[in-house]
A = this chain, B = another copy of it.
Amino acid sequence: MEWISGSVTAPRGFRAAGVRCGVKSQGKDLALIVSDVQAVVAGMFTTNRAAAPCVRYSRHVIEAGIARAIVANSGNANAATGEEGFVDNVRMAQKVAQLLECPPAQVVTASTGIIGRRLPVEKIEAGIEQAMLQLSPDGGSAAAEAIMTTDTAPKAEALRLNLPGGEVRIGGIAKGAGMIAPNMATMLCFLTTDAQIAAPALQQVLKDAVERSFHCLTIDSDTSTNDMVVILANGQSGVDVHPYLDDFQMALESLCVRLAQRIARDGEGATKLVEIEVRGAPTFTQARQMAKTVAESPLVKTALFGNDPNWGRILAAMGRSGVDFDPDRAHIALQDTLVYADGKPTAFDAQDLHERLKAEKVTIAIDLQQGTEHATVWTCDFSYDYVRINAEYST
């Protein structure tokens, strides 16, 4: 496996474009990703009960298992918009289908931005026409830009995997929670591969990869109405990956982990990437649950912003995580320095640790010493800018 430059257009047989159609006040706001041939599609969607029309629509596309394109707009989530919202969303899919001469049921739609406003669908239709003219095998980075809301940087990754049957590539773009305009909490990730793979296998591989990447990511615990991760596999490498599904899954997971880390590092107001590992747990699920509780604790996150080696808050978060453990056996290390062991504080140099917590990446390592499973979760710290960004008046 080797990292390469590029994104969703790194795999063979994909073209993409990102254009400005005027939904956002500035910048590109419409992304289009097209496979030259029908692709197998898999996806995972928000569990939010108030899921947006694009989520409900795209779920049906994934159920059928075949897609030609993904179209996404930023600046407006088209959520909580009533029946009109469903009609607007279908119009997005129809416009792409008409130009590609495929059924609308083969077009994945996605929207991200403010909740509760009608989508300016005429602008989006015009944008789709424009994007279709600009489709290019180099268009992945423009698409990555066009799905940003207030991320401070586009997020793209690509890799190639050498299998006995030949080379397979995987590419992806994502957007996160660098939210300056309020409500733009959506996590979107679009993945492509030229592997030959059947829909059920693709769905399973995606699910496993997401389980240890995006499902291990939390910025502020606010799951959005529009989250989705979608992968298109168009088989253009000519390599059947079914005999090597483990290798393929590991490669996909590595790519998703990198994108998840990019999202965490670019969280709203973030000054650092925080990696929390829980080891020695009876199950992966329990390890992740505890790591996530620590990652979502406002008290832990504000302490990290202050570079404060305040492990008491970490222990308190572990204690309320719902995971059964023995506090007297657990160990906690911050930046590789053991701060809590055998039920009490260790003697560590607090001033030195305070300095080392100013790094761009901070690790919290927890060892429960009661099992062999582990999980890693990524988040960011909690700064004044988080409050500033989210307290600004939206209407």
Binding site for B on A (CB under 8 A): 47-51, 77, 79-85, 114-117, 182-183, 185, 220-225, 296-299, 302-303, 305-313, 315-321, 323-325, 327-328, 340, 342-345, 350-351, 354, 382-384, 386-395
Contact = CB atoms under 8 A, between A and B. Distances in A.
Given A185-B299, A387-B302, A391-B308, A318 B50 contact: yes
A116 B340 contact: yes
B384 A316 contact: no
Given A220-B299, A299-B220, A320-B49, A305 B116 contact: no
Given A220-B298, A302-B386, 20 more contacts: A48-B316, A49-B318, A49-B323, A50-B316, A77-B312, A80-B343, A80-B344, A83-B343, A85-B344, A182-B303, A183-B316, A185-B316, A221-B296, A222-B313, A222-B320, A298-B386, A303-B394, A305-B391, A310-B394, A310-B395
Contacts of A115: 312-313, 315-316
B298 A221 contact: yes
Contacts of A325: 49
Nearest 6 CB-CB pairs, A to B? A115-B312, A306-B391, A50-B319, A82-B344, A302-B390, A48-B319
Contacts of A315: 50, 79-80, 115-116, 225
A312 B183 contact: yes
B345 A310 contact: no
A183 B305 CA distance: 15
A83 B344 CA distance: 9
Contacts of A388: 384
A297 to B, nearest CB: 6
A77 B312 CA distance: 10
A77 B316 CA distance: 12
A303 B388 CA distance: 10
Contacts of A79: 312, 315-316
A47 B320 CA distance: 7
A320 B387 CA distance: 21
Contacts of A318: 49-50
Contact of A306 (B223, B299, B393): B393
Contacts of A384: 384, 387-388
Contacts of A83: 343
- Which among A50, A221, A388 has the greatest number of chain B C-beta atoms within 10 A? A50
B48 A299 contact: no
Given A47-B320, A319-B48, A395-B354, A345 B80 contact: yes
A190 B315 CA distance: 26
A302 B391 contact: yes
